[in-house]
Structure 1
């Protein structure tokens, strides 16, 4: 009798153990389905514990593995917060928080120095930013139809030029009326906003100003950088508003397509070669990634030899590859897959890295006086509004042309990423690069040439 009872207890204990084990499995499976960005909750908690441990041990390295963990954890954390806040999530809150909150917490020393050092060293030494841009630009271009590419690239200059002229006129009028002065408004607010960012805009402008106007470069740089930063922030927020408008008025947007004549998927190759190639193939994916990197390296070489901007050369080469059918369909599919991977997995980690290492909070808040704010916002709004209505007149999608114009008000390549992320249209990166790089270069060159003649 006692032995039978003992066996029953054993069977019962085994049954209870299996039940607990099954419940644990179910709980863990459910927890793995809860995600912060793309990170499953158990992995997210593990990353948190690891980062805290390495920071405590002062052993947080700046290698690629650590950088993936740190930027991924913080980037998706801030993005998730931005997506969860009721009002902010509607105007690109994920991109705004992932970029500008890290900048603020660095400035106010609310994040450990080890994390700042690790992130900054990796971002500066790895050229992480341009890996992202090359993947998005090359993949987006090779994923377009050839006819759309030619038509859209030609037409996109019209809203860009019209927006630049109108924004300059409005900005000068508003700034002068608010007592900032014509010269100050032109040289330190309007031109910097449209100069193409820090590296390609603020630095050459400050060098030119210092030589022509006999002032120190540091003084000139300090005067132009706040307008660039706040102009970029304004463009990010307004691009988020444009995204909301596109959802409410679907007839105004191509959801990443620029020209109304474009139809079908973003990747027309899929249907054309369905019988021959799969859309996603690891070998093609890897080949597409190597192609994107190779084109950027050719761009770097052209910059070293001839001073031509590397991203612009890369963009032109990608356009040539597409126009002259120099890559087979499977390679174009692979490059497009690479761009989709980067837009999904890398955007918010990169924005966090940009916020920590490339976005000085003190320069941003330096623009926070009422006259500057009104003038800067008037420039950006005019640029976007003219892009919208000109695009509509050209039978293009007005939301897309307005967003591309907004990139002309951004913080260079970093601004393009933040603006397009807020607008949820990273596939517009090739057009954004035209707006930022070419538009910015023309703005800086003409400004310095005219200043030489008339100052």
Structure 2
């Protein structure tokens, strides 16, 4: 009777390799073939169901149907932008997710029922503010207290220097092109730094209508395209800065403003994700963000401070005073990461459909306007980069915050930080956009009303 030595290595026989079963092949497709974050089979199923609803003319605007609709179109546009050669690496995904839907609406390429349902859902739910509050609160709760204080104290100086230099450069370029100084400043440069549409372009148009005795619709039509082009320029620059940071990693903190933050973040005071949270902890993290935003809304009614800014200050106070437990901080971080990963492109698609007028953007594409806008935003960002480096901050991350000074409000911040892969900077972006824009609009209208009219 013969025996086989168990220590003898077995001869490798390629024919003995087990072929994956049909079930395993299907699972492989589900796990690896994706459009954005959506498995390809689910993406196809969503497209078929949306097409059926569109053909029947009954695409509902409730949250269940809209989750599928916005995810389908948003991730499709984002994936298309990511796969574009060269520009796919400098923010094309955020640009495509915002402006392709706007163009499709204008040229009638998007079914009317999709446009109507998306617009109704976006305007009736204020879904953007839910997104922003979860991003702001989650990013603040994930910061170290020391870094948070240092970042907020130092970020104002690069912002101020950037605005001054940006305005001077923009004025110089405009005058060199033969444009009227009054028109350059009040109808090109100021709208770029006004803080977006709701907090910038609309108050500006109201002020211009009163002080310059012009129709508000006409004023808004001249101001709004500059806001959009400034934001588009900032998105592209932010994407370029992200790539620049990959080539020169010593210039970036990958979402941290302070060079010493890597050491500070390792201290026991900074909670890290343990991976042992239950569903209730995550739910409480989401509820914390919502309640802080409601406090911000209350502050808006009492003192007129924009709700996102009020919420931001309250969240910082909560963090600095250790008013919530480390476990709840973890829940807030998970909520932040969920919204950053899963909701960004659907939100940008809704913004493109509901509030981004394609024709006004195209009409503003004149050589003189573009040169003034690009030079203004570039000078603003370059100044933020250099000043940030000079005062001991990560220059690329400071420069991306400077990009947000010329963003299209909250939606612009989302697109800019998405292009720059720095969503953790949202609290500082809100300061740059909301507070900086409000100061610019208020001071400029005060000057216009008392000295120039």
TM-score, normalised by the number of residues in structure 1:
0.92
Is residue 214 of structure 2 the alignment partner of residue 211 of structure 1? no
Residue in 1 that maps onto 2:337:
340
Residue in structure 1 matching 2:393, options 396, 399, 407: 396
* Contact 1:209 1:217 (C-alpha < 8 Å) held by counterparts: yes
Q: Are the aligned partners of 1:143 and 1:269 in contact in 2 as well (CA < 8 Å)? A: no
Question: How do 1:46-445 and structure 2 match up within 5 A?
Answer: 46-263=45-262, 278=275, 280-445=277-442
* Shift of residue 336, structure 1, vs aligned partner: 1.2
Deviation at 1:267, TM superposition (A): 8.6
Gaps of 5+ in 1: 1-18
- Measured in 2, the distance between the counterparts of 1:271 and 1:182 equals 50
How many Å apart are 1:384 and its aligned residue?
0.6
| Cα separation, partners in 2 of 1:161 and 1:69, compared to 1, 3 Å | same
1:328 shift after superposition: 1.0
Q: Work out the CA distance in 2 between the residues paired with 1:128 and 1:297.
A: 14
Aligned length: 434
Query: Aligned in 2, Cα 1:75/1:270: closer, same or farther, shift over 3 Å?
Result: farther
- Return closer, same or farther for 1:419/1:439 CA change in 2, 3 Å cut-off: same
Q: CA deviation at 1:303?
A: 1.6
Task: Please name the residue that 1:8 is paired with.
Answer: none
Q: After the TM superposition, list the runs of 4 or more consecutive aligned residues in structure 1 that deviate by more than 3 angstroms.
A: 264-274, 277-281
Task: Please say if residues 280 and 337 of structure 1, whose CA atoms lie closer than 8 Å, have aligned partners that are also in contact.
Answer: no
SS of the residue 1:263 aligns to = helix
Deviation at 1:453, TM superposition (A): 1.0
* Offset of residue 283 of structure 1: 1.9
* Secondary structure of 2:262's aligned partner: coil
How far residue 273 of structure 1 moved from its aligned partner, in angstroms, is 7.2
Rounded to whole Å, the distance in 2 between the matches of 1:84 and 1:273 is 33
Counterpart-to-counterpart distance in 2, 1:344 and 1:207: 37
In the alignment, is the contact (CA less than 8 A) between 2:255 and 2:422 conserved in 1?
A: yes
CA displacement, residues 259-279 of structure 1 (integer Å, 9 cap, x when unaligned):
1121159696697578xx656
Contact 1:144 1:267 in 2 (8 A): no
Equivalent pair of 1:270/1:279 in contact (CA under 8 Å): no
Taking a change above 3 Å as real, the CA distance of residues 113 and 273 of structure 1, as seen in their structure-2 partners, is closer
Is the Cα contact below 8 Å between 2:296 and 2:307 reproduced in 1? yes
Deviations 1:318-358 (A, max 9, x none): 00001111111111111111111100010111111111111
Q: Structure 2: any 5+ residue segments left out of the alignment?
A: 1-17
Q: 1:413 to 1:268 in 2, by over 3 A?
A: farther
Distance 1:271 1:452 in 2: 49
Following TM superposition, by how much is the alpha carbon of 1:27 offset from its aligned partner in structure 2, in angstroms?
A: 3.3
Aligned to 2:40: 41
Query: What is the distance in 2 between the residues matched to 1:358 and 1:431?
Result: 24
Task: Indicate conservation of the 8 Å contact 2:147/2:264, yes or no.
Answer: no
Structure 2 residue aligned with 1:30, among 3, 28, 45?
28
| Distance in 1 of aligned mates of 2:424 and 2:281 | 20
Aligned counterparts of 2:113 and 2:240: Cα–Cα separation in 1? 36
Q: Post-superposition shift, 1:72?
A: 0.2
Q: CA RMSD in A?
A: 1.7
The Cα shift of 1:304 comes to 2.4
The answer to which of 91-100 and 280-289 deviates more is 280-289
Residue 305 of structure 1 deviates from its aligned partner by 3.0
Change in Cα spacing, 1:273 to 1:378, as seen in structure 2 (3 Å) is closer
- Mapped contact 2:133–2:290 kept (Cα < 8 A): yes
| Mapped partners of 1:47, 1:122: distance in 2 | 18
Change (3 A) 1:453 1:245: same
Q: Using a 3 Å threshold, how does the CA distance of structure 1 residues 151 and 108 change in structure 2: closer, same or farther?
A: same
TM-score of the two chains, using structure 2 as the length reference = 0.93
Counterpart Cα distance in 2 of 1:269 and 1:232: 39
